[in-house]
C-alpha cells in the first residue's frame, strides 16, 4: 500500500514537472528576440541611405523587425539654415562702372559693381575672387566660357578682390588692364562665408576661351 502511494506521488510530481516545463517553454517562445543586432552595424559599414540629400534628422528612425510602435524615435527637431555653411550667392550681376586709362603706363583701371542675392542672417561675409587662369583653355572649348558650373577651382590661382559684410548685397572691385593682351582675371567668383564654413563658388563672370590667341 505504501509502495503504491509513493508511486502515485512520483507520477503526480512528474506530471506537475512536465506541465511546469511546458508552461516555461511556452513563455520563452512568446518572449521577443533581442533586437540589439538590428540596431548595431559593424563599424566598417556606412549607414544605409546616407546620401548627401538626406540627413539623420529627416524623419523617424526605421524600427527593427518586430519592434513595437512605441519604440520609434520622436519627431526630428527642425534644423536652422544658420547651423551650417551658407548657401552660395544667387543671381549675380556684373556691371562696368568706370574705365580710367593711365597715359603714363598705358594701363587702364576698370571698376565693376557686383550684386547678388542671399538669405538674411545666414552669411557673415561675402568674398569676391579673380581667377588668374582659363580652366578650359583647349581647342574644343574655343570661344566658350573659361569656367562652367561643377568645375574644381584651383585655390592658388585666386586673388581676393574684395570682401563685403553679411548684410550687404553689392560691392565694387577694380583691377588694372595692361595696354596689350588680356586682363589679369579670366573669371570672377563669389562665395558666402560664416562661422560654420564657406559656400561653393558662384560664377559672376567668365571670359571666353581664346585658344589660338598670341599676345
141 exposure class (CB count in 10 Å sphere: 0-12, 13-18, 19+): middle
In this predicted structure, the answer to whether residue 127 has a pLDDT above a threshold of 50 is yes
The pLDDT, as a whole number, for residue 167 is 97
In this predicted model, what pLDDT tens digit does every residue of 46-79 receive, in sequence order? 222 222 222 333 333 332 333 332 333 333 333 3
In this predicted structure, the answer to whether residue 139 has a pLDDT above a threshold of 50 is yes
Q: Please answer whether residues 130 and 175 qualify as being in contact, where contact means their C-beta atoms are separated by less than 8 angstroms.
A: yes
What is the distance, to the nearest Å, from the Cα of residue 162 to the centroid of all Cα atoms in its chain? 26
Give the end-to-end CA distance of the chain in Å, rounded to a whole number.
127
What pTM, to 2 d.p., does this model score?
0.62
User: Comparing 17-21, 112-116, 131-135, 149-153, which segment has the lowest mean pLDDT?
Assistant: 17-21
Q: Please answer whether residues 136 and 145 qualify as being in contact, where contact means their C-beta atoms are separated by less than 8 angstroms.
A: yes
In this predicted structure, the answer to whether residue 143 has a pLDDT above a threshold of 70 is yes
The pLDDT, as a whole number, for residue 19 is 53
Instruction: Please write down the HEC assignment for all residues of the chain.
Output: CHHHHHHHHHHHHHHHHHHHHHHHHHHHHHCCCCCHHHHCCCCCCCCCCCCCCCCCCCCCCCCCCCCCHHHCCCCCCCCCHHHCCCCCCEEEEEEEEEEEECCCCCCEEEEEEEEEECCCCCCCEEEEEEECCCCCCCHHHCCCECCCCCCCCCHHHEEEEEEEECCCCEEEEEEEECCCCCCCCCEEEEEEEECCEECCCEEEEECECCCCCCC
Identify which of 181, 180, 199, 183 has the alpha carbon closest to the alpha carbon of residue 191: 199
**Band of pLDDT at residue 87, cut at 50, 70 and 90:** very high
Considering Cα of 137, then 173, then 92, then 198, what sign does the dihedral take?
A: positive
More confident residue, 32 or 8: 8
**Residue written as cell 586673388?**
159
The pLDDT, as a whole number, for residue 32 is 35
Q: What percent of the chain has pLDDT over 70?
A: 62
203 exposure class (CB count in 10 Å sphere: 0-12, 13-18, 19+): buried
> What domains lie within the chain, and their CATH numbers?
93-206 (2.60.40.10)
Q: What is the mean pLDDT of the chain?
A: 74
Distance CA 130, CA 158 (A): 6
In this predicted structure, the answer to whether residue 119 has a pLDDT above a threshold of 90 is yes
In this predicted structure, the answer to whether residue 88 has a pLDDT above a threshold of 90 is yes
In this predicted model, what pLDDT tens digit does every residue of 151-208 receive, in sequence order? 999 999 999 999 999 999 999 999 999 998 899 999 999 999 999 999 999 999 999 9
Q: What are phi and psi of 81, to 5 degrees?
A: -65, -20
**Band of pLDDT at residue 16, cut at 50, 70 and 90:** low
Amino acid at each position: 500500500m505504501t509502495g503504491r502511494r509513493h508511486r502515485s506521488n512520483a507520477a503526480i510530481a512528474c506530471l506537475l514537472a512536465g506541465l511546469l516545463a511546458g508552461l516555461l517553454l511556452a513563455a520563452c517562445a512568446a518572449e521577443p528576440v533581442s533586437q540589439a543586432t538590428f540596431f548595431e552595424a559593424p563599424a566598417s559599414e556606412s549607414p544605409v541611405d546616407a546620401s548627401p540629400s538626406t540627413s539623420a534628422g529627416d524623419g523617424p528612425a526605421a524600427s527593427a523587425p518586430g519592434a513595437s510602435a512605441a519604440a520609434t524615435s520622436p519627431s526630428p527637431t527642425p534644423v536652422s539654415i544658420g547651423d551650417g555653411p551658407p548657401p552660395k550667392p544667387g543671381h549675380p550681376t556684373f556691371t562696368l562702372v568706370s574705365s580710367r586709362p593711365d597715359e603714363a603706363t598705358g594701363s587702364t583701371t576698370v571698376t565693376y559693381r557686383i550684386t547678388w542675392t542671399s538669405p538674411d542672417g545666414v552669411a557673415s561675409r561675402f568674398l569676391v575672387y579673380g581667377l588668374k587662369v582659363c580652366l578650359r583653355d583647349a581647342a574644343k572649348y574655343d570661344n566658350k566660357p573659361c569656367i562652367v558650373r561643377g568645375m574644381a577651382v584651383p585655390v592658388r590661382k585666386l586673388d581676393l578682390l574684395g570682401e563685403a559684410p553679411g548684410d550687404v548685397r553689392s560691392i565694387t572691385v577694380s583691377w588694372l588692364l595692361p595696354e596689350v593682351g588680356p586682363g589679369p582675371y579670366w573669371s570672377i567668383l563669389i562665395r558666402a562665408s560664416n562661422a560654420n564654413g564657406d559656400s561653393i563658388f558662384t560664377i559672376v563672370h567668365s571670359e571666353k576661351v581664346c585658344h589660338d590667341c598670341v599676345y
